[in-house]
Structure 1
Amino acid sequence: MNKLTGILFLSNLLVVYNLKAQLQPESPTAIPVGHDTLQPAKALKAVEVRSVSAGSLQQSTRAITVIDAKKYYNRPVTTLALINQSPGVRIRQEGGLGSRADLSINGLSGRQVKYFINGIPADFLGAGNRLNIFPVNAIDHIEVYKGVVPIELGSDALGGAINIVTRQQLSNYTDASYSIGSFNTHKATVNTYRNTGSRFFLQAGGFINYSDNNYSITADVPDRLGNPVSQKVKRFHDRYRDYQLNAEAGIQQSRWADWFSVNASYYGMDKDVQHNLVMTEPYGAVTRNERTWNAGIRYMKQQLLPRLTLSFYGNAGIVKEHFLDTSYNAYTWDGKVYERRIAYGEIASSRTDLLFTTHNLVGRLQLDYAADSTNKFSFSFTGTYFTRKGKDTIAENYFGKDFYGHTVQMQKNTAGLAWQRRCSPRFISTTSVKYYWYHANGFTIDNLVFNEASRSKQQFGVSEALKFELNRHWLLKASYEYATRLPDEMEVFGDFSLVKANPSIQPEISHNLNLMARYTRSALSAGINGFIRLTDNIIFLQASPRSSQYRNLLKALTAGIEAEASYQFTPSLSLWANGTFQHIVNRSKKENTGNIDDRYFNRRLPNKPFLFANSELQWTRRNLFRRQHTLQCWYGVSYVNWFYLYWSNDGRRDTKAIIPTQVVQQAGLSYALRNNRVALSVEAHNLANAKVYDNYNVQLPGRAYTLKARIFIDQ
């Protein structure tokens, strides 16, 4: 696999690019992931790979928001920031660049929301495909599914999904960018595509990110007498670095395949761990690193048989992770050693030098059959296999046993069948049935006692989505899904360090209902969506200073409404805004929770945002100073209302812990030359330097500046 990665990457370096005198606009296209448009069944004389446009997806039966990433190639914006602009979506991070991020869609969050890269579950592609580091310039568009997840994504998402569709531009180009920002942050990205003039193509890319993440926080630091004193200090052990190389080579528009390719990638990550999940203990020597190798194959053929389209994707991956906690030192928030222990590490009592290896396999088969101009049938099957084994010589010497040398395994299969029918020129219905199955083998360690554990589970799901075009301006949608989410490897087996295993954890189930209306005119677009989620066996992370664990919370009810609007005042000036209100309450009775009474029944769940909004004003002036020169300026605001960290009916009103109201402003400008082929931009984030919190009161970076340069070459 290493040889394949090297050969493909070195082959790309031999490609010679010549700049043309005449400039042509970019024309990115993408391999289709799936859409609702029904076409008459007829033989195709020529096959052309086309993108599924944002417009066609927005017009589908699904509750979906589509973000066109191409509009942001010149900006120093992150993928998480783009997704966070969507109505009903809220992202909460644990720190700066490379930190964990929790995303919620209409009240459902964490692993209830699934992530995909070109329709493939990102969980099985390694950390290099996480949303918190995935470069915007490598993306064509982002699909945000709410409530009902289409069968072609082939996963057990409970309340929504994010699908990243990468650039599949079928014309020769090279796109490179570099940005530098506060806290010694550097990001570089390059993507390139080469068609030899025949049916053979080669595309490659890569990125590298680095940050010291040494932003200021307010923390208690012991004085000379050992008394805690609140001080403003810089994070001292939060350095992050990662990089990725990827390449894909294949043929297109041949007699036996419209698209056939092999791909390979390599990813590396090194990260300092600054503190525990609840930010009560600083660490000064704990580190994590990861190395990931992936190799895959893609195949697509329209009219494989009359009216039948087949697509297949398979991927094999190896992940090697290293977790190091060997220091005897105890640190304070100013980076000084407070004491040196005789035993114990900063996290684990045994200290830890843990290396574990993960093998992943994932395959997806999609069949689409157009029975006639009004009926289309689709079948999807996704199978995944996960196995992991660790080695920790320090812990083995301490306990006298190598607990981590035992293998953990998990297998998941997801199948779906959908029937889409056009009942009238204005009315479309999509009915789906899903089947989920998983089996897990692993272990737990309780009071230094090793216990084998295994679990199997199967579940069915159904969904119905309706779309009605009232007239040329009004679009109405309704959708329902009985959804299931199976526990994943982190929830079942933990991470061998900060999160303990829980093999007895149960799948989550949910009834999801959406009612949407959208109004569109030439300058105005507006939409409103009401949603209800009744979720049972909710899996949540019970955080603690030393070792956390995923558990089931049984039942919750979510009801809410989201609205969005955009208006083009002039050809140069535009404004968009959206807002979300969601009421998430506990529906578990005392006999199911272990509480002595029902004091938490029908109470709003703590540590969950319930009111938030986003807006942005943008001014664009084309042909400024010279032809094909463009100046763009923007100003945006993000608002999150305060919410309780713990149950609202516990404790005194004046001493209850809250996550305070967040108001984050950002502004920037970009100047592009030669029809967006050369661009320079700058952005200021958190203009007012507000103190911002998300998860468990963990402080986020304050005011930060980023400068980005981009060059695009086509030929």
Structure 2
Amino acid sequence: MSMYRLLQWVGIGCFLLLSVSLFGQASRSLTGTVLDENGQSIPGATVRVGELGVVTDLDGKFILSGLPTGTVKVMISVVGYETQELQVTWNGASVAPLHVTLKESTTVLENVVIRGKSEASLLREQAYAVEVIEAKQFNNLSTDVNEMLCRIAGVNVRQSGGLGSGFTLSLNGLSGNRIRTFINGVPMDYFGSSLTLNNFPPNLLSAVEVYKGAVPIHLSSDALGGAINITTTDVPINYLDVAYSLGSFHTHRASLNGQWIDTKSHLTVRLKSFINHSDNNYPMEVFLLNRETGQLDETPTEVRRFHDAYTSRMAWLEAGFTDVKWADEFMLGAMYSDNANELQQNPFVTGLSVFPLGHVTTAEQKDIYTATYRKQDLGLQDLNVRGYAVWVNSTEHYTDTSAARYDWFGDFEPDVHPTTGELGRKSLFQLQRTNLLTNLHGEYSINALQGIAINLSTNVLALWGEDVYQPQNNTQYSTPNRVSKGTVGLSYTLKLLQGTWHNTLFTKGYGYTLEANNPDYQGNDPNAFSDQQGRVGLGFASTWKPNDRVQIKGSFERAYRFPESFELYGDGLAVIPNPTLLPEQSENYNLGLRYTQPDRWQAEVNGFVRNTQDYIRFRPQLTRSQYINDPRVLALGIDASVLARLPWGIQLQGSATYLDLRNNDPEATVYRDRLPNEPYAFANLVATYGLPLPWDRQQATVSFVQQYVHEFFLDWPSISSSDSKSVIPRQYLAHLELTYSFQDGRYNLSGQVSNLFDAQVFDNFNQPRPGRAYSLKARVYLHNRSSF
């Protein structure tokens, strides 16, 4: 199906849905202003009616649309003030604007915060299987988004080393690029290694949204089995947030973030920035090569990594207008990011190399330009529109030219292999990328019970480059290789049974075009080829909430994912091209139950099925690794989570996941084998205690974090005898966290001990991770309600 015909089909569907739905009941809007006892406006206050909610602007004003007729309860709340509840009744077509005055609250807040219902709770109550992590509880810790995600049921993150190392994220049985990541709804597919999740500190963020299985159409991408959307802070206040942490292995992390809003013109300026560095020189136990016998020693020797340093930087400046008549937000932005990474060994080797690397490096520099727009009631009440355009220009460098051979003490012999590099063929590779992303999303609330939405997005990538040494790279990238993706989404939402049963039907159309070179090993012939494909996916999400305690969810999606550039073209070093990869297809089922005992405890259990065809799997083979298709893979699993608030300021939060992920191709010799290098049983438990302090406006907490991953096979279990099977051993990790805040969170200190018991931990491809590590962090947060 061509993209043109797909757009025609979607347009007809929109018209039919709108025509049918116009018979629905009319809705109402509520406006007003929220002030403090001194008559000053309160920005960032939440105004909620049932499951609908908005946040007040810089002047304390709000507009809440899509309300039913009759009498409704209005809840107004904000941190630091007492919550107020009002009743509003429509006697005619409209109601007078509200003027609400809030009193300051004297209640001491807990350090671990559950987001207000207008944000996280509303997302959790959607029909989609979604979990939300409040970034606030991590703001004072020396951590990153990956470590936050590890505390969610069904999520497992594996890293092959220390800060900046490669990682694999798994969500309900699907992993890697099948799980799409977004920042404020913008796909991060081609944002590069300097902007991956393990680079972002939590105090840049507002929250992390995790969609399991079915993905809503506003996250427009070819996500096969879930999505992660990190959202940055957009509360309409002036603030400054500065943080610095110092840790083991010469690790330094710093961030500077702020926002300024002019109260008259509503001109808004935002800055977000970070810098990360680590030498990653942690100790390991290595079986050294005995030069006399040519065999490995029988007992290990402790050595330190010596060529594994990592540095990443990012600065993002935005300027525009917020809460003006013609836009709720219009921002233009410019971002610069870069990183430099030393490779200690081949990232795809099993265990530790006999000879480490001493000169191989990678680096990238990236310029990103953004434009975003958002407006509620655009020309028509209850018509909400938002969109973005993003331009990415990046340069990547891969260097492997040394003829030296190193040992694990950092000593080397020069000119051992003068015609090759340390990984294989010499390479001095520079790769250029450009990427244009556009998106337009529209939603219309026909009435309080019905709504429609449409989403259009494009994603166009071009990459070219040159390699001084490798003719294969030179020929492949001599002319631009291009990948173009287009996605069209349409959804219809219907609430039944007095609004307790929410249903969303959606369809997505995918278009994909590839233009590439596929030269031979010698690079003699570019062998240019092209491919164009289209797919149509569909799905539904449904939830029934009979009361405030019980919620049942179910969802289904037939989703597609097209291969990524590095899967098709390799990385120029250790991963070779495979441009014949087929798109993946998956049928994803979710069924879940959540029970909440208000202010005491909540529990959730979720079962899932992932039936995937043409599964794209990474096959590691040292310097000839490659991505290939497995015809059929089936995943069955269950995850569960619980949160309990106990007396004496104690909170327990835990989750567990079991996954049965197997080859499902009857023609394969490994039929019904578990997929290799994939954990199938893991859990975590976090115990937090709020320390009682005799002073006002101060808080202190101590947390004990435990993580468990059951042993799993590195290769297909049935390939070899049980004695020779490579097993990644069972892992148990414990961390200790201590935080202290004073003057209502303006000034914060924290300490953290990772891997408290100094356990030996092995992860991706059985490569060792750091042992016990310490970190200290100081953070200052000032805003316009704290004498800023």
TM-score (norm 1): 0.91
Aligned to 1:146: 212
Shift of residue 656 of structure 1? 2.0
Shift of residue 652 of structure 1? 2.7
| Deviation digits for residues 501-540 of structure 1 (CA, Å, limit 9, x no counterpart) | 1111011011111110000012010010011111110001
Shift of residue 28 of structure 1? 6.3
Are the counterparts in 2 of residues 393 and 402 from structure 1 also a CA contact under 8 Å?
no
Shift of residue 222 of structure 1? 2.0
The answer to which of 301-310 and 695-704 deviates more is: 301-310
| Deviation digits for residues 268-320 of structure 1 (CA, Å, limit 9, x no counterpart) | 11110111111435211001111100111111121113231111100111001
Matches within 5 A, 1:385-464: 385-395=460-470, 402-425=475-498, 426-448=500-522, 449-450=524-525, 451-464=527-540
Aligned to 1:263: 333
Distance 2:305 2:430 in 1: 26
- Classify 1:684/1:554 alpha carbon distance in 2 versus 1 (closer, same or farther; 3 Å): same
Distance 2:577 2:188 in 1: 22
Are the counterparts in 2 of residues 186 and 210 from structure 1 also a CA contact under 8 Å?
yes
| Deviation digits for residues 226-274 of structure 1 (CA, Å, limit 9, x no counterpart) | 4322322111110101111111111122222121110111011111011
Are the counterparts in 1 of residues 179 and 227 from structure 2 also a CA contact under 8 Å?
yes
Counting aligned pairs with the same residue, the percent is 32
Distance 1:183 1:44 in 2: 62
Q: Letter of the 1:193 partner, please give it.
A: Q
Distance 1:224 1:509 in 2: 51
Shift of residue 462 of structure 1? 0.6
- Classify 1:511/1:190 alpha carbon distance in 2 versus 1 (closer, same or farther; 3 Å): same
Distance 1:641 1:84 in 2: 15
Distance 2:385 2:267 in 1: 21
| Deviation digits for residues 449-492 of structure 1 (CA, Å, limit 9, x no counterpart) | 43223222111111111110132211101101111111111111
Q: Letter of the 1:406 partner, please give it.
A: T
Aligned to 1:514: 590
- Classify 1:82/1:29 alpha carbon distance in 2 versus 1 (closer, same or farther; 3 Å): farther
> SS at 1:394's partner residue?
coil
Distance 1:462 1:186 in 2: 46
Aligned to 1:127: 193
Distance 1:510 1:137 in 2: 35
Matches within 5 A, 1:524-603: 524-570=601-647, 572-590=649-667, 593=668, 598=669, 600-603=670-673
> SS at 1:262's partner residue?
strand
Matches within 5 A, 1:131-530: 131-198=197-264, 199-225=266-292, 226-229=294-297, 230-276=300-346, 277-278=348-349, 279-280=352-353, 282-306=356-380, 307-338=382-413, 340-349=416-425, 351-395=426-470, 402-425=475-498, 426-448=500-522, 449-450=524-525, 451-522=527-598, 523-530=600-607
Shift of residue 394 of structure 1? 3.3
> SS at 2:123's partner residue?
helix
Aligned to 2:164: 98
Distance 1:192 1:316 in 2: 23
Matches within 5 A, 1:614-633: 614-621=684-691, 624-633=693-702
Are the counterparts in 1 of residues 633 and 665 from structure 2 also a CA contact under 8 Å?
yes
> SS at 1:346's partner residue?
coil
Shift of residue 545 of structure 1? 1.1
Are the counterparts in 2 of residues 498 and 547 from structure 1 also a CA contact under 8 Å?
yes
Shift of residue 45 of structure 1? 10
Distance 2:375 2:42 in 1: 26
The answer to which of 401-410 and 227-236 deviates more is: 401-410
Shift of residue 125 of structure 1? 3.2
The answer to which of 176-185 and 254-263 deviates more is: 254-263
Are the counterparts in 1 of residues 635 and 659 from structure 2 also a CA contact under 8 Å?
yes
Asked if residue 65 in structure 1 is aligned to residue 127 in structure 2, the reply is no
TM-score (norm 2): 0.83
| Deviation digits for residues 99-123 of structure 1 (CA, Å, limit 9, x no counterpart) | 1111010110011110000011012
> SS at 2:149's partner residue?
helix
Distance 2:140 2:487 in 1: 39
Are the counterparts in 1 of residues 574 and 622 from structure 2 also a CA contact under 8 Å?
no
- Classify 1:698/1:45 alpha carbon distance in 2 versus 1 (closer, same or farther; 3 Å): farther
Distance 1:584 1:401 in 2: 39
Distance 2:95 2:778 in 1: 43
Across the aligned residues of Structure 1 and Structure 2, the Cα RMSD in angstroms comes to 2.5
Aligned to 1:15: none
Shift of residue 651 of structure 1? 2.6
Q: Letter of the 2:419 partner, please give it.
A: A
Distance 1:302 1:169 in 2: 17
Shift of residue 327 of structure 1? 0.5
Are the counterparts in 2 of residues 36 and 61 from structure 1 also a CA contact under 8 Å?
no
Flag structure 1 segments of 5+ consecutive residues without an equivalent.
1-21
- Classify 1:400/1:192 alpha carbon distance in 2 versus 1 (closer, same or farther; 3 Å): closer
